[in-house]
Amino acid sequence: MSERPVVRHSTTWKPETIEDIQAKADLGRYRIRGFSALRDRPLPSFDDLTFVPCTLSRIPLEGYREKCSTRTVLGTRFAKKPIEIDIPIMVTGMSYGALSYNAKVALAKAAARAGTSTTTGDGGMLAAEREHSDILIYEVLPSRYGINVHHLRQANAIELTVGQGAKPGTGGLLLESKVSDEIAELRDLPPGVDQRSPCRHPDWFGPDDMLTKIEELREATDWQVPIFVKMGASRVYDDVKLAAKAGADVVVVDGMEGGTGASPDILLDHTGIPTLAAVSEARVALEECGLYGTVQLIIAGGIHSGTAAAKALALGADAVYMGTAALIALNCNKPLYVDDYQAIGAEPYACHHCHTGRCPVGITTQDPELMKRLDIDAGAERVGNFFNAATLEIQMLARSCGKSDVHALEPEDLRALTLESSMIAGIPLVGTNVVFGGGPGWKPSSER
């Protein structure tokens, strides 16, 4: 019997690299896909941190009797009616167009059920989304697709979007198969085009203009509702300061793990900074402006569990947005209709094919037949359950750290498992009590 040859792969010319070159040799453009970063080198993440619960130096709270509040208030700076939600987890903005009708409505119902908010997206507000949500955030994006002052005035907050983590510095994309007649009409576009959205707002450029824009949005809503500014995590330390100084009530920072319905894959994998670094920089930025606690901070990008959310809160976020995790609760990547995953070149648990418009589980599609696979009420229940589970996780971690309010979680409750995360987050490395670095402008808590 002949010996089998040893198969040796090059680390430079990996199978993925070879496949990538050959795909581009066919396509003639950069590749576009959905989901999130797919790098093979892991990013520094919240998983690199661990909580240090109470033992003798601190006393934990008793789960049965002692309450741990999860109530979250956002937009206390200038708005007459800040948003009050029951949990620090919110549904992020995902457009009707990227998502199916069923997915949009399921998310609205889930948010209402869990006592939290949902957000419109690049393409305007869906009436059913307003109807089924208690708290709705209305996005004002560079494309202004579907912009409608009446919808804006029905919202509980306005989110002025500068960019997102999946593609900072560039505009939205919606490929041909998803620009159905209905979506085209809502966006004032010809049906079936490959829609490319602008990256800059049509009527303002920099932070000075944004200040005036924010004031316009306040005038349009009579200073009632909070104005959020959402950005992709890039130069977070500077950008958060600029947004706060331009008058945002709430700053949203979306890390490089942030999900998408369609983005150039190089932007997903090679632009922006990870969410862990983003929250660390954002907190310091707000502290240095004297606005930490006055301007609330929402963190997004790869928040997959109550644990990740709790760590984001401990590092300085007031709430987290969930996008991909909510879609996964709706059945994204679940091994159902396996043949249909394979037909679009995917496999369950390894699908990132939202851009094709052929989502096997009816979430990111405009195809009426595929959409039927997502039952609105059953989906809403699953997402609601997932949010409840994540909330219990946050509460459990907070109680174990002796906190009667999840917003009392603090950096001191954390230790870093890696040198890298210690340097990024300014958290002591386990077993040392030494902080190896810290973000820009970081100071030890004794000097703050």
Partner 1 sequence: MKDIDCTGKTSRAINQEIRHHIQAGETELRVQHPQARHNLGVAILQPVSLTMSGSVGYYCGGLIDGPRIEVQGSCGWGLAESMLNGVVIVNQNAGNSVAASIRGGTVVVRGSASSRAGIAMKGGTLIVQGNSGYMTGFMMQKGAIIVCGDTAEALGDSMYEGRIFVGGRIADLGNDAVMAEVTDQDQEFLATTLAQYDIAAPASFQKVVSGRRLWQFDKKDFDTWREAL
Residues binding ligand FMN (CB under 6 A):
36, 92-95, 98-99, 121-122, 139, 161, 164-165, 230, 254, 257-261, 300-303, 321-325, 354, 364
Select the binding partner of residue 333 from ligand SF4, partner 1, ligand FMN, none (C-beta < 5 to 8 A, by kind).
ligand SF4
Find the binding residues for partner 1 in span 5-34 (CB under 8 A).
27-30
Q: How far is the CB of 49 from ligand FMN (least distance, A)?
A: 18
**Cβ–Cβ contacts within 10 Å for residue 2, how many?**
4
Backbone angles phi, psi at 400, to 5 degrees: -65, -25
Q: Which two tokens stand for residue 75?
A: 């937009």
Q: How far is the CB of 361 from ligand SF4 (least distance, A)?
A: 5
> At which residue do the structure tokens 């030890």 appear?
444
Scanning 4-12, 201-209, 300-308, 346-354 for contacts with ligand SF4 by CB under 6 A, the matching segment is: 346-354
Rounded Cα distance between 344 and 142, Å, is: 31
Select the binding partner of residue 51 from ligand FMN, ligand SF4, partner 1, none (C-beta < 5 to 8 A, by kind).
none
- SS3 of 336-386: the string is CCHHHHHHCCCCCCCCCCHHHCCCCCCCCCCCHHHHCCCCHHHHHHHHHHH
For ligand SF4, which residue of 329, 351, 370, 394 counts as binding (CB under 6 A)? 351
Indicate whether 215 belongs to the interface with partner 1 (CB under 8 A): yes
Indicate whether 382 belongs to the interface with ligand SF4 (CB under 6 A): no
Decide: 378 and 190 in contact? Cβ < 8 Å.
Answer: no
**Edge-to-edge strands, sheet with 319-322:** 89-91, 319-322, 296-300, 250-254, 227-232, 157-161, 135-140, 117-119
Tell me the sheet residues that pair with 90.
321
For ligand SF4, which residue of 354, 401, 406, 424 counts as binding (CB under 6 A)? 354
CA 238 to centroid of chain Cα atoms: 20
**Cβ–Cβ contacts within 10 Å for residue 404, how many?**
12
Indicate whether 221 belongs to the interface with ligand SF4 (CB under 6 A): no
Select the binding partner of residue 408 from partner 1, ligand FMN, ligand SF4, none (C-beta < 5 to 8 A, by kind).
none
Find the binding residues for partner 1 in span 193-212 (CB under 8 A).
193-194, 196, 198, 202-204, 209, 212
Q: Is 413 exposed, middle or buried (0-12, 13-18, 19+ CB in 10 A)?
A: buried
Q: Which two tokens stand for residue 366?
A: 């405009």
Find, among 246, 231, 282, 313, the residue nearest to 441 by Cα: 282
Indicate whether 175 belongs to the interface with ligand SF4 (CB under 6 A): no
Indicate whether 181 belongs to the interface with partner 1 (CB under 8 A): no
Scanning 140-148, 224-232, 301-309, 420-428 for contacts with partner 1 by CB under 8 A, the matching segment is: 140-148
3-state secondary structure of 298: strand
Indicate whether 353 belongs to the interface with ligand SF4 (CB under 6 A): yes
x/- map, 292-331, ligand SF4, by CB under 6 A? -----------------------------------x----
Nearer to partner 1, 192 or 293 (CB): 192
Rounded Cα distance between 207 and 68, Å, is: 39
Nearer to ligand SF4, 70 or 333 (CB): 333
Q: How far is the CB of 364 from ligand SF4 (least distance, A)?
A: 4
Select the binding partner of residue 427 from partner 1, ligand FMN, ligand SF4, none (C-beta < 5 to 8 A, by kind).
none
**Cβ–Cβ contacts within 10 Å for residue 236, how many?**
26
Rounded Cα distance between 448 and 431, Å, is: 24
Select the binding partner of residue 111 from ligand FMN, partner 1, ligand SF4, none (C-beta < 5 to 8 A, by kind).
none
Q: Which parts of this chain interact with partner 1 (CB under 8 A)? A: 27-30, 143-145, 147-150, 152-153, 176, 187-190, 192-194, 196, 198, 202-204, 209, 212-213, 215-216, 218-221, 223
